[in-house]
A and B are shown apart, each in its own frame.
Chain A
Amino acid sequence: MAATGSDVVIYFDGTSSRRHAATLVFSDALEISLDGETKARWAYADIRRADSAPGTLRLACQGAPVLARLEIRDPALAAEVTSRAANLDEHHLGRRGVAKIVGWSLAAAASIVLVVLYGVPLAADRLAPLVPESFERRIGEVAERQVKIVFGEKVCSNPEGQAAFTKLVNTLRDAAGLDTSVQSNVLHSEIPNALALPGGKMVLFDALLAKANNADEIAGVIAHELGHLKHRDNMRGLIYNGGTSFLIGLLFGDITGSSAVIFASRTLVTSSYSREAETGADTFSIEIMQKLGRPPKAMGELMLRVTGKEGGKGLTIISTHPLTEDRLARMSKEDQTPKGPPLLTDREWQALKSICVAGSKV
């Protein structure tokens, strides 16, 4: 069978853009002839379909020049070729191909989720101690500058208050078994809070001092922050957050601008990690206070005064800290009547409370 026609069969030989009006001969292979001369022989098994506009059957052939194309615009002729070329659509992504993509994607997703849940926390715990102290201190200095930009520059250090603060911190530090590299400051800020920074830095805001009723409450908070330093929670958190952000970003790629999904799932995972670290620091605080014979419950009471009751507010699974009342309940369970000597005298406590009042006389 042969077919001719100026625009029915067109052959591009893949070496130039010239349109050749071709004639097809169906022998044991598809013979393409131009002006009566056979130009190419395409084995039926090697013929593949190439993309084209509707109404045109465009063919390529494995083994022929990669871009050689045969275009057939006659339905009957196209049907004839289609019936002979058994592997016409073999290279196309069929249902099985799609199923394979779906399957492997789910497998990749599952392994990423497993790594986020189990691998990254483990890596963070193991890697954090390996980070050189000097590097951690550098990050800490950067963090401290940023803290000062956000919360204010003023470091409070009137001599009497500073003496009391140093005494309190040193007592707790010794009990915690931390070395003298721990640095601590009181910053003037309206926000009642305390922070542990990478590289053994601790910052206490004086608004928290104002809310405190006695030295034990502040001691509990300092012990809690020392717990973060001891556990190197900052470094662990940094590694953990970096790792999870990266992996979750990888997982969702760019599913139509899904940064909200990435943000949401990251918040879920990292806040659970952060709650764990907070609980760990609380445990540390309880142990230190018991060791010094002071009541662990005091810190919980201060926290409750600052935050109020938290239950029923917001979404507990995305908050970075456990509920204050839960923390207080836990500390109350471990509470004891004071056996040890007070950590600060009344006079020292008053001096500490007014550490931000310049040159104050108590």
Chain B
Amino acid sequence: MNQFAWTPIGEPPPVPVPPPLPAKLDFTGERKGFLHMVARGAGLELVTLGFYRFWLVTDIRRHLWSNTVIDGDAAEYTGRGRELLIGFLIALAILVPIYLAYFLIGVEAEHMQVLASIPLIAAFYVFGQFAIYRARRYRLTRTVWRGVRLWMTGSGWIYAWRASVWLLFAIVTLGIALPWRAAELERYKMYHSWYGDLQGSFEGKGWELFKRIWWIWLLMPGAIILFPALPFLYARYKAEEWRWWISGIRVGGVTLNSRLEPTALTDLYWKVIGWYMLLSTAFATVIGVAAVSVARVGAAASGAAAGPDALMQSIPVLVVTVIGYMALALGLGVVTRLYLTRDLWARVLQTTVVTNIAAVANVAARGDIASAVGEGIADGLDVAGF
């Protein structure tokens, strides 16, 4: 009998490997803890006349980073408030002569042609873009995951140059070029970003963003007239932008993808607006009550009603106004940080999916920390981000 060997010859064909399950990004931070932290920070900012901002922003980042869990392991922010303070002081030393030079050149330029100093403001824009790039480098090199830090190469000046030229282009095209500008800048940033020895890249295309937001751009003029529509449009735009941005990020073989719904951020912006109105109303009420009671007391004392000018001069009303204004500003700071920093962060993370995370299982550490001067300049020029 001929026995057929049913066993195949050679190696068995490989069993198709199921694609690895996408890894989830998660945010584990407690909302109450964050609120407590920013409220306390706002109080300390008030007491320290703003100097506490370096430590508050560091605490916020530490909270956000260390609760960002990627494939089961949380990230870590290793920056410290003291570094930011030193960076700010160095930035001052750089900015003071620049401001002085700006003033002198401005005088000379105006001397030749009235209002000729306006192009100098453009120079500050370029400088601001430089600072944004360097500040990103600082934050990136303070970001650690699985014992390996992120870092960044590239030149802040080249970035600033590109950002400015593309801005000119966007202005000339009435904003149509903005998506391509965003793609170009993001490509530059991600191409120069590294996780250990893995290089980043950005695959988002300007066209893809344009396809998703062109109608917002068209509706904008109408929305300025019908202004309650503005927050809807802006929130929609931000959501589309986040989704496009996240979905374009690549690190080595790792792919990110965002499932953020286009309307996912709308309620956050409305909540901030609601709080803004509530706090402003409370502020107005407090001043109103103070003014009325001062007027009553004044009228009782002098027998005649005090005019609005006398009220303006009243020290108690002034004190109430100043304290009320401070409380309003700080309250708004807390609300904005809670909704537009923490909640937004959590929502974006929870809708992000990472595929091929195995590519980062064994990445060699590389790269060194960068100084906080860029961040200091950004703070001095008021262009600081997260």
Contacts and interface: CB of A to CB of B under 8 A. Distances in A.
Contact of A138 (B51, B74, B111, B195): B111
B77 interface: yes
B55 A19 contact: no
A314 B107 CA distance: 34
Q: Please classify the interface of chain A as helix (H, G, I), strand (E, B), loop, or mixed, using the class held by over half of its residues.
A: mixed
A109 interface: yes
A67 interface: yes
Given A53-B67, A315-B313, A67 B149 contact: yes
B146 A256 contact: no
B312 A315 contact: yes
Nearest to A139: B107
**A67, A109, A256, A315: residue with the most chain B Cβ atoms closer than 10 Å:** A256
**A54, A104, A255: residue with the most chain B Cβ atoms closer than 10 Å:** A255
A115 to B, nearest CB: 14
Contact of B147 (A12, A101, A246): A12
A17 B196 contact: yes
Given A105-B51, A255-B49, A242 B103 contact: yes
A271 to B, nearest CB: 15
A86 interface: no
B221 interface: no
B364 interface: yes
Interface stretch (B2-10, B120-128, B239-247, B328-336): B328-336
A141 interface: yes
Interface stretch (B40-48, B275-283, B290-298, B342-350): B40-48
Contacts of A135: 107
Nearest to A103: B48
Interface stretch (A27-35, A142-150, A293-301, A320-328): A142-150
Interface string B351-380: 000000000111111000000000000010
Given A67-B365, A250-B92, A312-B310, A105 B52 contact: yes
Nearest to A311: B309
B48 A54 contact: no
Contacts of A141: 111
Interface size class on chain B is: 35 or more
Nearest to B51: A105
Nearest to A148: B114
B208 interface: no
B362 A101 contact: no
Contacts of A252: 49-50
Nearest to B384: A254
Contact of A253 (B50, B65, B108): B50
A32 to B, nearest CB: 13
Contact of A53 (B74, B92, B110, B309): B74
A51 B62 contact: yes
B235 interface: no
Contacts of B74: 51-53, 56, 58
A19 B72 CA distance: 11
Given A51-B66, A51-B77, A67-B149, A145 B310 contact: no
Contacts of B147: 12-17, 67-69
Interface stretch (A175-183, A257-265, A284-292, A329-337): A257-265
Interface residues of A, number: 56
Interface in B312-348: 312-313, 322, 325-326, 329-330, 332-333
A50 B76 contact: yes
Contacts of B329: 255-258, 261
Contacts of B363: 16-17
Contacts of B23: none
B30 interface: yes
Nearest to B195: A17
A98 B50 CA distance: 13
Interface string A71-89: 1000000000000000000
Contact of A15 (B53, B65, B365): B365
Interface string B51-88: 11101000000100111010001101110010000000
Contact of B76 (A51, A101, A145): A51
Interface in A213-268: 242, 246, 250-258, 260-261, 264
A17 B114 contact: no
Nearest to A138: B111
Interface string A97-141: 010011011101100000000000000000000000001001101
Nearest to B76: A51
A313 interface: yes
B11 interface: no
A312 B330 contact: no
A251 B51 CA distance: 8
A345 B369 CA distance: 80
Nearest to B312: A315
Nearest to B108: A138
A87 B322 CA distance: 44
Contact of B28 (A13, A54, A98, A264): A54
A93 interface: yes
B103 A18 contact: no
Given A67-B147, A258-B329, 9 more contacts: A50-B76, A98-B44, A102-B44, A104-B51, A109-B48, A135-B107, A251-B50, A256-B330, A258-B50
Interface of B: 28, 30, 42, 44-53, 55, 62, 65-67, 69, 73-74, 76-78, 81, 92, 96, 99, 103, 107-108, 110-111, 114, 144-149, 195-196, 307, 309-310, 312-313, 322, 325-326, 329-330, 332-333, 360-365, 379, 382
